[in-house]
Structure 1
Amino acid sequence: MEAIFHLSLRRKDLFLQYVFPWEVQRMNKLLIIDDDVALCRSIQLIMGGKGYCVEVCSSAEEGLATIKELCPDLVLLDLVLPDGDGLEVLDQISSSNPNLPVVIISGRQDMAATIEAMRKGAHDYLRKPFDVNDVELVLEKVKREFSRSPEGEQTAPIETRITQPDEIIGNDPKVLEILKQVGRFSRSQVNVLIHGESGTGKELVARAIHGASAPGKPFVAINCSAIVSTLLESELFGHEKGAFTGADRQKPGKLEQAQNGTVFFDEIGDMDLDLQAKILRVLQEKQYERVGGNQPLYFKGRAVFATHRNLAEMVKEGTFREDLYYRVVVGEILIPPLRERQADIPLLAHHFLNRIGQNMNRTIECFSDQALQLLSQHPWPGNVRELQNVITRAIALSESPQILPEHIHFLGDSASETPSSVIQKRPLHSLAEEEKGYIQYVLETKDWNISQTARILDISPTTLRKKINDYNLTRPSK
């Protein structure tokens, strides 16, 4: 029997089929297509010791040939191979073996590749370095999911590639899970709800879904909390000439402008109940009328929603329609607050330093260790948007080639905590200019959420809207 262990794993499998056919029925066959010798050897030793049959191929050509011969239960596929691209290999596997689960493994932080792999039908995505035990967990998950799945139920791979989506930055496993969900949901036109605190990047995720599912088509965003309810209906559905005072011409609404693209309903939880009923009709019947009109128009795009509120609780309180809730949460993506992925703060900080520095024509090389430590220890109640604003201000204040602790200022810092060196550099403004700047800052920190901003400023939403108009403040394009 000792000679068996000197056979290749492929021959060992064939040998066991002949001598111990009952053993093959319970044995799980794993194929690794990767040229990382050390990683493959580690997986072979550990998984082989647990009773798995592990075959290794170092090239795309060898891997595709082995799939035909071995009929593995699971394939681990690297994105970068000596003789080909992993995504192209995934296409070939999906075409010839649509029920064979493939897990992508890669050491690159590549948002586009992650989303594209999931869109093309990858079962999962593991980022190197990973724990070998993760492979066993994935294999057990595959066994549970595929053991009862009839053939032909898998979604066909989508060939359209992503066209330069906005980058989602992060190495945290929760960020990788978001990218995987974006890829999965982009395979179809299901409604998606993105849930997260203000400033976590909900619109960025919405744009990633759009870029993956409808590249080149319109992306139309509307903030349900920034527009008074009496005007929101006209913004969404459009209006006919003469529909109300001041309607001197026909105007298409956001739904019409989106065509076959995406409409992003930001802060859907702030929409009043009357308008919720009309949105429900759009989602159910895919049609609507302009304000003041009776000609039915058809909604052909997809709807993506975002909120920082607990919609389930709002349903219980009677402030959000239950029937609309179930239409909205067909797919759900949860974005963690920045304080729950603090290891990503240095990565995000350097990303903003480079991008904002270029926009401001400033060359600042890095953060000092003390400044980076200061950023990493902050709780970031305003999340990624607050980090972006803090770094923007730091770049404006810095006169050196690096960001120092005295350049870092957080919302709520008192004057007594502000270094005197920074106070001396601060330009003098009129009270109106100071108020305008602070209102702009709070609006951006709260993603232009009128109710939250008004609460922080201790003024009414009506007063806030008047000041926005008086100071000619506009929401920056993303």
Structure 2
Amino acid sequence: MNKSNPYPSFGVLLVDDEAPFLRSLSIALERLGGINHIYRCEDSREVMGVIAREPIGLVLLDLTMPHLSGETLLRQIVEEYPEIGVIVVSGLNQLETAVNCIRLGAYDYFVKTTEEDRLIGGIRRAIESQEIRLENQEMRKRFLTDTLERPEVFAGIVTRDKGMRSVFQYLEAVSASSQPVLICGESGVGKELIAHAIHTLSNRNGPVVCVNVAGLDDNVFADTLFGHHRGAFTGADRTRAGMIEQAAGGTLFLDEIGDLSLASQVKLLRLLQEGEYYPLGSDRPKRIRARVVVATHQDLARKQQAGEFRKDLYYRLRTHQVEIPPLRNRKGDIPLLLEHFLAEAAAELGKTVPTVPKELAVLLANHAFPGNVRELRALAFDAMSQHKSRMLSMEVFRRALGQNETLLAPEGEAEPAPFGHMQTLPKLNEVGDLLVAEAIRRAQGNQSLAARLLGVSQPALSKRLKKAGSEDAG
């Protein structure tokens, strides 16, 4: 068995009494399918022992063998290890035998003399099916027990948000898979940090190679990813390895995948479907030996419906998909992140960490943060660069956040109509009172912040509150 970045995560056991066939099948699986987590068994009497000792998830089983027949073994495996997939690879092209094997619980049936490509394709489909079953088991286990097995992997992502914890649990469950992962989320939410966490979880010994594909035309995209041979085009005076080759044994992270041209989308789809690519100027394919992780801030479902993103590629990418919530939807993280970034900035600037005014958390909680975590980090560093006294000044944040603290409607959605469902409109002074009460609630009783949210001066708000108080008392 090849122990370097084994694929799949579980073992594939080849059972046949013909040693030459076992050898040739092993070579074909690795060369054409990238499958290297292989065990071989020539004696059918030893099969159940191998399954008991090793982490077998798929068995390729010959039917006609001395000692124990393939059909007998199939019955035993299905009965004792129902979670293991079995593919029958027989020398006999008999429909009745094939139907009987499927009825007994085999995943598929192939004839040895059938073309190699069909067999490899069938085995890869069986592996994907097993991976999804194992992932579903892992997800159920993690969500039901609310556990993280490797919390240290996520230590660099500052959060206590339940939505983020669910993302972490999902990523742990799919970490062993070879399928691509699609990371969605607005700009600045930390998609690259998530990509690095996926890489660490997958225990790959190769590097993470990051490529921002936004703005790459089709030729540059192909050259960047696939590399080229010397003389492939004018100016190609030497062979250059592409990013896929540089990421061998590791993770290839493609950022801003939503900006990829349709021509480049075809190339990426073929890479993911076939697991192979051609360097420019070469007629010999190379196998991809990296896991692909992609990210976008765009709505791929909407782009796909508009004909701007290939449907087949979209469905291939969304096999494993995570949505990173924007900062405005995890306000509990704002104080944590602020503290983290202020400490980071203080260390970088050689200053002491300041005391944070209590009102600052309230001010930040009422900001939409269109730039998300990246925006908060920039604010913290800007404030620290101007910081002089023990108490952190609110002024930098007030200036940066400005007067307009309203949440913008997501792109493509209409502005909310708060009175649309009302048959009769409320009186003007009633709306004003409700608005003031909501501003006071959001500002947690701080009149200065409430006045800023309302776009009025503090004396004007104070006067209104006093008037309302006296009217209530009267």
Q: TM-score, normalised by structure 2?
A: 0.52
Cα pair distance change 1:317/1:123, threshold 3 Å: closer
Deviation at 1:222, TM superposition (A): 0.8
Contact 1:165 / 1:207 at 8 angstroms: preserved in 2?
no
Structure 1 residue 206, shift from structure 2 partner:
1.1
Give the Å deviation of 1:165.
Answer: 5.6
Look up the match of 1:238.
Answer: 227
Q: Is the 8 A contact 1:163 1:212 kept in 2?
A: no
CA contact (8 A) 1:191 1:302 kept: yes
Q: Does structure 1 conserve the Cα–Cα contact (< 8 Å) formed by 2:139 and 2:170?
A: no
- Say whether the 8 Å CA contact 2:213–2:259 is kept in structure 1: yes
> Structure 2 matches for 1:88-237, cutoff 5 A?
121=138, 123-125=140-142, 138=144, 167-237=156-226
Deviation at 1:387, TM superposition (A): 0.8
The residue that corresponds to 1:450 in the other structure is none
Q: What per-residue deviation string (whole Å, max 9, x for no partner) do you get for residues 12-49 of structure 1?
A: xxxxxxxxxxxxxxxxxxxxxxxxxxxxxxxxxxxxxx
2:211 and 2:233 map into 1 onto residues whose CA distance is 21
Note if contact 2:139-2:169 (Cα within 8 Å) is conserved in structure 1. Answer: no
After the TM superposition, which of the residue ranges 328-337 and 306-315 deviates more from structure 2? Answer: 306-315
Amino acid in the other structure paired with 2:296: T
Correspondence for 1:387: 376
Higher mean displacement: 220-229 or 178-187: 220-229
Partner SS state of residue 178, structure 2 = coil
Q: CA deviation at 1:411?
A: 5.5
Structure 1 residue ranges (4+ consecutive) displaced by more than 3 angstroms after TM superposition: 118-126, 161-166, 226-230, 409-414
**d(CA) in 2 for partners of 1:308 and 1:379?**
17
The structure 1 residue matched to 2:320, chosen from 323, 331, 348, is 331
Q: List per-residue Cα deviations over 1:381-433 (Å, max 9, x = no partner).
A: 0111111111111111111234220132666759xxxxxxxxxxxxxxxxxxx
Question: Does structure 1 residue 263 correspond to structure 2 residue 252?
Answer: yes
Alignment correspondent of 2:363: 374
From 240, 247, 253, give the equivalent of 1:251.
240
2:242 and 2:401 mapped to 1: Cα distance?
39
**2:257 counterpart of 1:273:** no
Shift of 1:268: 0.8
Counterparts of 1:401 and 1:228 in 2: how far apart (Å)? 52
Letter in 2 for 1:247: A
Amino acid at match of 2:376: L
1:344 aligns with 2:348: no
Selected match of 2:276 from 284, 287, 295: 287
Deviation at 1:256, TM superposition (A): 0.7
Change (3 A) 1:228 1:194: same
Per the alignment, do residues 312 and 164 of structure 1 end up closer, same or farther by CA in structure 2, a change over 3 Å counting?
closer
Instruction: Give SS of 2:210's match.
Output: strand
Rounded to whole Å, the distance in 2 between the matches of 1:356 and 1:119 is 42
CA distance in 1 between partners of 2:211 and 2:155 (Å) = 18
Report the CA distance shift for 1:245/1:360 in structure 2 as closer, same or farther (over 3 A): farther
Alignment of 1:433-448 (within 5 A): none
| Mapping 1:295-310, distance limit 5 Å | 295-310=284-299
Question: CA contact under 8 A between 2:209 and 2:252: conserved in structure 1?
Answer: yes
The alpha-carbon deviation at position 367 of structure 1 amounts to 1.7
CA RMSD of aligned residues (A): 3.0
In the alignment, the residues of structure 2 paired with residue 162 and residue 213 of structure 1 have an alpha-carbon distance, to the nearest angstrom, of: 14
Deviation at 1:234, TM superposition (A): 1.1
Task: Write the distance in 1 (CA, Å) between the matches of 2:240 and 2:329.
Answer: 44
Distance 1:179 1:292 in 2: 42
Give the Å deviation of 1:318.
Answer: 1.0
Distance of aligned partners of 1:226 and 1:387 in 2 relative to their CA distance in 1, 3 Å threshold: farther
Counterpart in 1 of 2:346?
357
Q: Identify unmatched segments of 5+ residues in structure 2.
A: 1-81, 84-134, 404-474
Q: Indicate conservation of the 8 Å contact 2:354/2:390, yes or no.
A: yes
Q: CA offset at residue 313 of structure 1?
A: 1.6
Counterpart of 2:210, as a letter, is A
Cα-to-partner distance string for 1:425-477 (whole Å, 9 max, x where unaligned): xxxxxxxxxxxxxxxxxxxxxxxxxxxxxxxxxxxxxxxxxxxxxxxxxxxxx
Decide whether the 8 Å contact of 1:238 with 1:290 is kept in 2.
yes
Alpha-carbon distance, 1:373 to partner: 2.5
Structure-1-length-normalised TM-score: 0.52
Asked if 1 retains the 8 angstrom alpha-carbon contact of 2:215 and 2:259, the reply is no
Aligned mates of 1:183, 1:387 — CA distance in 2 = 28
The corresponding residue for 2:412 is none
Give yes or no for contact 1:172–1:344 (8 Å, CA) kept in 2: yes
Q: How far apart are 1:226 and its partner, in Å?
A: 5.0
Displacement after TM superposition at 1:186 (Å)? 0.5
Q: Secondary structure at the match of 2:331?
A: helix
Conserved 8 A contact 1:286-1:298? yes
- Tell me the percent identity: 39
- What is the letter of the counterpart of residue 197 of structure 1? E
Gaps of 5+ in 1: 1-97, 100-117, 127-137, 143-158, 415-478
Task: Report Cα offsets for 1:78-131 as digits up to 9, x if no partner.
Answer: xxxxxxxxxxxxxxxxxxxx99xxxxxxxxxxxxxxxxxx999574557xxxxx
